[in-house]
Chains A and B, each alone.
Chain A
Amino acid sequence: MKITRIDFEGFGALTNRTIDFDADKLNLVVEANEFGKSTMVEATWAILYGLPEKDTYKPWKEDATYCASMDLEIGDKKLRIIRDFESESVQVLDLNFGLRDVTPQYLGNENEDQVGFKLLGMNRDTFRNTCLVGQRHLEINHMTDSTAVAAEIQGIADSSSPDTKVSAGLQTISHTLSRFMHGNRLCHINELLRELEGQRSDLMKRMRSMDAERGQCREWFSEIQAIDEKLNLKSESKVPESVEEEPAQVPTVAESAEAEALREELKRIEAAIQKLRNQEQKKQALLEAASIHTDDGPISQEQMDFLMRLWDKQETIVNDINMLHEYIEPHQAEIAARESEVMDRYTDYKGLDQFTNSEAQTISTYAVNLFNLVKQMEDMKAKNPEFATLVNNGAGTGEYEAAKAKLNHFEGLTPEEVEEAKSYASLLVAFKEQASETARKLNETKSKSSELNNDRNKARIFNIARVAGLLVVSVLMLASPSILSAVKVALPQPVVAGSLILGLLTMLISFFFLGRVLNTTYFKQDEHDSLGQDVQKLEIAMAKGDEKVSNLENKIGALATKCGILDKKQFVTKLQQQAQAPSQKETDEEQLRQLFLTKQQNCKRLQSDLAYFFNKAGLATVEIEPQSAIALSESINDFRKDIAELQERRSSMYDHDERMRQMEEDLSLTEANIIEFLDQNGLACEGSFEVAKNQVQSLIDFFENRNSPHPDLAEIDEGYGDESARHNTQQELIERHIAASTKLEAHLAHQNTASQADVPKARVTPTVELMSSKEVEELRNKKEDLTVKIRTTLKSRDELYLDTLEELNRVDHEIVISKRAKLALELAYEMLKQSSHETYADWSVQLNKISTELLQQLSGEIEMLEFSKDLHLKVKLRNHQNIFESKDIITKLSTGTKEQIHWMARLIISRFLSSLEPLPIFLDEPFSEADDARFMGIMSFLIDSILPNNQVVIFSCHQQRHQWLKQQLDAAHQDKLTFKH
């Protein structure tokens, strides 16, 4: 897609502006600050996608129409998009067909605006992420971290919204789990659940204890009832007085017979009722006899229910434990296998786990430095083979090693004499120089003197001439009147006088100059004298110098002779050679040598430092090579990564382990409760759950048996049917009893005999043995004790039980919602992670396809650019054998290459997201921080590598810089630039 024109009727600061773009050139929009360049960039996506907030770019000029349009070419289509931001409407016109309105083609099913999406295959945020490059986006800092690049690409793969990254999302979820808000505090959710479970456990214990006490109270009350019955029966053993025997009035025969019949019937009914009751009692007795014999009697149904609740809980926990085991075991085996694999991989090393992260980085830094140093030293050795033998023994710098190797050419002379000779030679040189200087000065002085003499002579001659001339003039002046008068030329007297006076004056002057002539010292005599003195001095100095030179030469000659060199000059030359200061070349060579030695020293230091780490890793510490240091560093990093992965897997299992532990605790507690319960009820388990199991099974069997009809019970029921039949019979009997009683009453009332006599009630009272007073007293005391116990226990329960239950309900609810929150967060985490892995893997495949296609079309530095499964970059450059991984890209490649790689990656992603349609790229002041070299490099790259496929538009305020750029480029490249206004 290429944008050819944008018209701004009114958009932010821009009003009635048009800008045309070239499709095949690098468009440079260079305008001053505050022109609205950034606004233009924003307008590109705003026209394509509309504005989420309508008034964001409302025109500054009040009467401007809030509207903009864009002409573009996409495939073989030429379209114009006109967007009215005020009315939030859009129109798409086909320029190939006379501005035909094709807007419906770019709307969705519900006529929603999908212009941008349908044209480009991506939504607004993705377009902004990939095609718009904001200010400072491409700072070098962006490329200092290998993970930052991968993170940027992952971010685009994660979401079309900017700043939406799965890694940050996962971190947020982890953070939420580890700092879970509960009440007013934050804590890890596992810690919270443990606390709540602990609270629950305590509360349950309290409840159980209080329930047990309540059960005890029930038993005590039963005892009290039994005591009451005993005490009441004693008092009831007296003859009941309820039935009064009234003297019967004599009834009539018929009336007596009827009354008698009614009484008989009542008796029969009462007997039948009693029989039924007897049957019932017998049944109860049989039931009681069928129950399990315990020391304290059979357990009640209620106790059995309680026991069954514990038993069910125990079974549930066992099932849960088994289920968890089944899950955990293969994972643990996997983790163990992985651990073993990791350990095996690093058998060459010992103690890799002892290395900290910073140590690993230090080793890496040292290794790289060592590598660089060794490489540099190899290069230096290649250029200077003699360096191969250089050894820095730490003797200090500035020493001429070469000088030490020089042979001593002065045999026969002691070192002192050689030094002496050197001194003489130096002095000789000095004196000779001095002498030549003196001679020069002498010559100079003499020359000056001679010049001076010449000047003096000239001055004299001039003066002589002057005198002569003046004399002549004076004579003439003096003689002229006479002469003229002789020739009878009359002159005025003044003239004559004047002539005479002038003549005299002239004569006087001439005499003055004559004096000068005669005075030989008047002209520069001092200077003459001074020069004369200088000459003398210099001559003396010369003489002395010659003398010194001569002496030195003699001495040197003597020494030369001593060491067998007849030629003094040769001797001196040799001495001079020895004492001569090094030349510039030698200085440079020495510096190079020193540099080499310094590098060598640094090398040794690094090796010494690395030796510590090598020793720690169980490696040999002699001859530490850079490769082995790099290998160690990489091994540590890989090891740490492997260990971190293992840790992560272990910690994911930790929760399960923790849960397992808790369940096992619960199981022990439940089993202990079961054993305790059975022990308390006389079913001794000897502390063994196996025994308890058997006891419980027996109880289960018993209760199952008990609930089925007992054969004897069946016999009892025979004749009366089942319980409901017996019940019906009883009801009938009761009704008949009531009817008969009523009738008898009415009859007796009518007869007016014993009208208010009560119907004698059937009373079946078991015979009771009479008790002694002592026994009665004991029973009463026991009852009182039991009453006190009951009251104390229940009062205490009154205060605590309801609150405890309320608290338990509250804690249960907290546990439920916390567990639910934890489950939900963990599920979200796993699903996000899984989704991101799958997405990155998919993207990797697609991006690599596009990368291969694109790079085949280009001839730049990059030969291969690959995206790994987690979207890290791998690069191969044309002039390099190696493949550079992410971290290598950062550390080993130049800034310019890194930027190119970044650009290519961006381009590939843009191509992928736009469904393979090349999209324009808009850059807003992207290189403000770049220096000239980098700026040049990246612009050349854009022209060579990006422009062939994608339209590029750069907005900038740096006019001069871009003009400079144009000048730097060759003609072909210059042609690719176009400045837009």
Chain B
Amino acid sequence: MESQKFTFLQFSDVRLDLPQNQGLLSYSSTQRLERYTDLIESFINALRVAQDKQVDAVFLPGGLFNLKTIRSQTIELLLDAIAEISPIPVVITAGSLDPYQDDSAYNSDFLKVYGIKPWPENVHVFASSEFEAVKLPNRPDVTVVGMSHVGTKPNYNQVLSQPLPKDESSLFNILVFSGALESYQGPIYPQLAGPNKPAPFTEEQLERQDFDYAAVGGYPDLFAIYAPNQRVLGAYSGCLSSSTFEELGPKVAILGQISYDPERGKEILLEPIEVSSFRLVYLAVDITGLDAEAIKEEIEYCMQEQDVRPDHDIVALSLEGSFAPEADPLAVIKDIESDFYRLIFVNRTRPNYLSQEFDPRTTEARYVERMLQRLQEAERKMAELSGRDSLTGLPGAFISAKTVEDALYYGLDALKQKRVTIRHVD
């Protein structure tokens, strides 16, 4: 048998039509439309890569769209985009955040009722919560085993604990699903915060299944899964575009190649390819002791370090540290704002009131001392509770250290400056 290879493009967690307003990330309606379009564009760019590279298959392990908010116009766009790359097969599994349901966009019958064309013929959507095997129409020597999250009740069982319907006669067996690797330590989607994760599995379980490759979805970061002997078992491609401050930096699709040589055996090559037209970047700049010019320089330096493209990227710029009360470090922002496609400014600076000496006999000193004590208590309690603070304002309700710190500075603002500067920072 001569050597053979199998190429694929893997990407997941596209989250089409995901709501974009998240805390400090706040967009106007026009900007939101741009963001939705950016997500579609990233998806289309990925498919274009698949077409350009003439891959054997596209794997999409979960998170194609946001279940509750996906709109018909977006569905039509994605169906058209997928149809464009026909006959390249596209294998889709539903993730825990976009589970398969009878009335979801994954069901062609539902799409028909909805008045939308069905899934193109080059698409296979796994519709069962049980692992099923299919052969690729263009590659009968490749078996793809996959499962979807079905219904709204998450499956917290170990999904790889039992043998899966692999075809031993196939040259390549590929596993596609959305699951939670237990050893993963990176950021997770806020909706999945909690002690239990849907479809958990371990490296050992995956290794035992003995697939040639596992295309996994469900985490925002690019992450390869290795066996103890460093063999690549599979990978998360991460989300296709950033939406929150937990998903910073470049986001990619994985261009994969599994090659088989009778002598050398199977080898896997994975190449991350950035397909998103923008990145979400977070720059933290400490302005302590800097004047306006120096702050600008520091910002430029941070941008260079992170390879920021100001005319493309969404940049969250956090100014931190302390400044003399009479200074106005924020004036710098007005100067540089117009240089960015989208600049989100986060003001975490504080006036340097605490650097001065307070006469301990005065109200001022007593106030600062009390507030600092309260701040320490709040920090300690926050660590114990490891939860959110209460904003009810009810007596006895827990107030976070952040709020106490704000209070400390607001009081000093009122005393020293005769005006209070409210920081709208979460």
Interface footprint category on B: 35 or more
Give complex CA distance A494, B424 in Å.
Answer: 145
Q: Is there an interface contact between B406 and A838, defined as CB atoms closer than 8 Å? A: no
Q: Is there an interface contact between B20 and A806, defined as CB atoms closer than 8 Å? A: yes
Give A456-474 interface residues, CB cut-off 8 Å to B.
none
Q: Which residue of B lies closest to A817 (CB)?
A: B424
Q: Is there an interface contact between B407 and A828, defined as CB atoms closer than 8 Å? A: yes
Q: Is there an interface contact between A790 and B114, defined as CB atoms closer than 8 Å? A: yes
Q: Is there an interface contact between B403 and A164, defined as CB atoms closer than 8 Å? A: no
Give complex CA distance A817, B347 in Å.
Answer: 13
Q: Is there an interface contact between A805 and B420, defined as CB atoms closer than 8 Å? A: no
Q: Is there an interface contact between B418 and A172, defined as CB atoms closer than 8 Å? A: yes
Interface presence of B165 (CB below 8 A): yes
CB distance from B24 to the nearest CB of A (A): 8
Query: CB-CB contacts of A635-679 with B at 8 A, as 1s and 0s?
Result: 000000000000000000001100100000000000000000000
Q: Is there an interface contact between B162 and A123, defined as CB atoms closer than 8 Å? A: no
Q: Which residue of A lies closest to B163 (CB)?
A: A731
Interface presence of A913 (CB below 8 A): yes
Given A225-B102, A806-B20, A810-B21, answer yes or no on A164-B416 (Cβ-Cβ < 8 Å).
yes
Given A302-B152, A735-B165, A802-B69, answer yes or no on A169-B403 (Cβ-Cβ < 8 Å).
no
- A829 neighbours in B (Cβ, 8 Å): 411
Interface presence of B422 (CB below 8 A): yes
User: Of B73, B366, B407, B425, which is within 8 A of A827 by CB?
Assistant: B407
- B305 neighbours in A (Cβ, 8 Å): none
Interface presence of A424 (CB below 8 A): no
Interface presence of A265 (CB below 8 A): no
User: Of B21, B363, B402, which is within 8 A of A832 by CB?
Assistant: B363
Q: Is there an interface contact between B113 and A659, defined as CB atoms closer than 8 Å? A: no
Interface residue SS majority, chain B: loop
Interface presence of A217 (CB below 8 A): yes
User: Of A159, A659, A727, which is within 8 A of B162 by CB?
Assistant: A727
Interface presence of A619 (CB below 8 A): no
Q: Is there an interface contact between B393 and A795, defined as CB atoms closer than 8 Å? A: no
Give complex CA distance A672, B263 in Å.
Answer: 72
- B29 neighbours in A (Cβ, 8 Å): 803, 806
Binds B, one of A250-258, A319-327, A934-942: A319-327
Binds A, one of B250-258, B276-284, B353-361: B353-361
Q: Is there an interface contact between A809 and B21, defined as CB atoms closer than 8 Å? A: yes
Q: Is there an interface contact between A173 and B414, defined as CB atoms closer than 8 Å? A: yes
Q: Is there an interface contact between B165 and A827, defined as CB atoms closer than 8 Å? A: no
Binds B, one of A76-84, A526-534, A818-826, A957-965: A818-826
Q: Which residue of B lies closest to A159 (CB)?
A: B364
Interface presence of A373 (CB below 8 A): no
Give complex CA distance A222, B107 in Å.
Answer: 13
Tally of A-B Cβ pairs under 8 angstroms = 201
Give B355-411 interface residues, CB cut-off 8 Å to A.
357-359, 361-364, 366-367, 370-371, 374, 391-396, 399, 402-404, 406-408, 410-411
Interface presence of A816 (CB below 8 A): yes
Give complex CA distance A795, B76 in Å.
Answer: 13
Q: Is there an interface contact between A805 and B403, defined as CB atoms closer than 8 Å? A: no
Interface presence of B4 (CB below 8 A): no
- B410 neighbours in A (Cβ, 8 Å): 173, 176, 824-825, 828
- A802 neighbours in B (Cβ, 8 Å): 17, 19, 69, 71
Give B210-264 interface residues, CB cut-off 8 Å to A.
none
Give A152-210 interface residues, CB cut-off 8 Å to B.
157-161, 164-166, 168-170, 172-173, 176, 180-181
Q: Is there an interface contact between A827 and B403, defined as CB atoms closer than 8 Å? A: yes
Interface presence of A728 (CB below 8 A): yes
- B183 neighbours in A (Cβ, 8 Å): none
CB distance from A280 to the nearest CB of B (A): 12
- B103 neighbours in A (Cβ, 8 Å): 217-218, 221
Give complex CA distance A535, B361 in Å.
Answer: 104
Which of B32, B69, B152 is packed against the most chain A CB atoms within 10 Å? Answer: B69
Give A615-649 interface residues, CB cut-off 8 Å to B.
none
Q: Is there an interface contact between A731 and B414, defined as CB atoms closer than 8 Å? A: no
- A218 neighbours in B (Cβ, 8 Å): 101-103
Interface presence of A831 (CB below 8 A): yes
Given A126-B359, A217-B103, A218-B103, answer yes or no on A828-B411 (Cβ-Cβ < 8 Å).
yes
Interface presence of B26 (CB below 8 A): yes
User: Of A790, A820, A835, which is within 8 A of B113 by CB?
Assistant: A790
Interface presence of A427 (CB below 8 A): no
- B370 neighbours in A (Cβ, 8 Å): 831, 834-835
- A222 neighbours in B (Cβ, 8 Å): 102
Q: Is there an interface contact between B415 and A169, defined as CB atoms closer than 8 Å? A: yes
Query: CB-CB contacts of A827-843 with B at 8 A, as 1s and 0s?
Result: 11101101110111011
CB distance from A161 to the nearest CB of B (A): 7
Q: Which residue of A lies closest to B36 (CB)?
A: A802
- A157 neighbours in B (Cβ, 8 Å): 361-363
- A685 neighbours in B (Cβ, 8 Å): none
Given A123-B359, A173-B414, A810-B21, answer yes or no on A817-B399 (Cβ-Cβ < 8 Å).
no
Q: Is there an interface contact between B165 and A734, defined as CB atoms closer than 8 Å? A: yes
Interface presence of B109 (CB below 8 A): yes
Q: Give 13 pairs: A residue, B residue, CB < 8 Å, sorted on A.
A: A159-B415, A168-B414, A169-B415, A221-B110, A727-B130, A790-B113, A802-B17, A806-B19, A813-B26, A819-B393, A823-B399, A823-B403, A913-B359
| Residue positions of A touching B, CB distance < 8 A | 122-123, 126, 157-161, 164-166, 168-170, 172-173, 176, 180-181, 217-218, 221-222, 224-225, 228, 301-302, 305, 320, 323-324, 327, 655-656, 659, 724, 727-728, 731, 734-735, 786-787, 790-791, 794-795, 798, 801-803, 805-807, 809-810, 813, 816-817, 819-829, 831-832, 834-836, 838-840, 842-843, 913
Q: Which 4 A-B pairs have the closest CB atoms?
A: A828-B411, A824-B406, A827-B407, A169-B414
| Residue positions of B touching A, CB distance < 8 A | 17, 19-24, 26-27, 29, 32, 68-69, 71-73, 101-103, 109-110, 113-115, 130, 151-153, 162-163, 165, 357-359, 361-364, 366-367, 370-371, 374, 391-396, 399, 402-404, 406-408, 410-411, 413-416, 418-420, 422, 424-426
